[in-house]
Amino acid sequence: MNAVRRIIGCYFRYVKGCFTMADVVLQKRAFFRNSELLAYNAKTKEQFHVENSVTHSQLWSFSADNLHESFDRSFRGLPANRQIKDMSSVKEEKYFKDILKTYRSLGFSPSKVKRIFVVWRVKPGVDVKNVSDVYHKKHGIRVEILSFRDQILSSLQGKFSNCFYHDEEVLGALSLIAQRDIEIRGNRSVVRS
């Protein structure tokens, strides 16, 4: 599991209070596909299916169309547009029923699952609420968009900025980075070789 997925898992465990399962294999007949993260909050009974496409390249960020295509792949089981050679084969390549079957096999109710898509950022001017509303109206699936940079990292840094979690390496690393930033801003002595 890469660092982004670990950090997202930490966010859902420590900020949202969920139990999490990463890399859940979807029940599919023809090929391997997995869900990045499923999460469950026992207190609120909230169920989450979380996918991400995080890159911090300043040359690329999501447009509304990019988001809708990513939602289609992640939550409706459609292949990427670039993978579609023959439009007649699209029906055979869908795995939406397998996503729903996987939810049920884990005790999730498909109608109650909250779909979350995590990005670094979106293009300036993209209204994420509108993107979600349009997608929901068209496909009956509501997707919440979270910013890895602005929501997830800031929530974790604020919650754990002065703690070192030895069992969560990624939180320990975030804690060290946050402390470094505090000390540099405070103009404490910097060691240079």
Q: Mind listing the domains of the chain with CATH numbers?
A: 3-182 (3.40.1350.10)
Tokens of 20: 């999490």
Q: What is the pLDDT of residue 82?
A: 54
Q: What is the pLDDT of residue 60?
A: 75
Across the chain, which has 193 residues, the per-10-residue mean pLDDT values are: 86 94 70 76 97 81 90 85 53 72 92 95 91 96 93 81 62 76 71 58
Q: What is the pLDDT of residue 13?
A: 93
Q: What is the pLDDT of residue 92?
A: 44
pTM of the predicted protein model: 0.83
Residue 175 and residue 162 in contact, taking contact as beta carbons nearer than 8 Å:
yes
Q: What is the pLDDT of residue 86?
A: 54
How far is Cα 155 from Cα 153, in angstroms, rounded to an integer?
5
| pLDDT tens, residue by residue, 97-145 | 888 988 999 999 999 999 999 999 888 899 999 999 999 999 999 999 9
For residues 136, 141, 145 and 148, what is the CA-based torsion angle, rounded to 10 degrees? -170
First and final C-alpha spacing in the chain: 34
Tokens of 72: 């289609």
How far is Cα 79 from Cα 28, in angstroms, rounded to an integer?
14
How far is Cα 183 from Cα 172, in angstroms, rounded to an integer?
17
What's the chain's Rg over C-alpha atoms?
A: 19
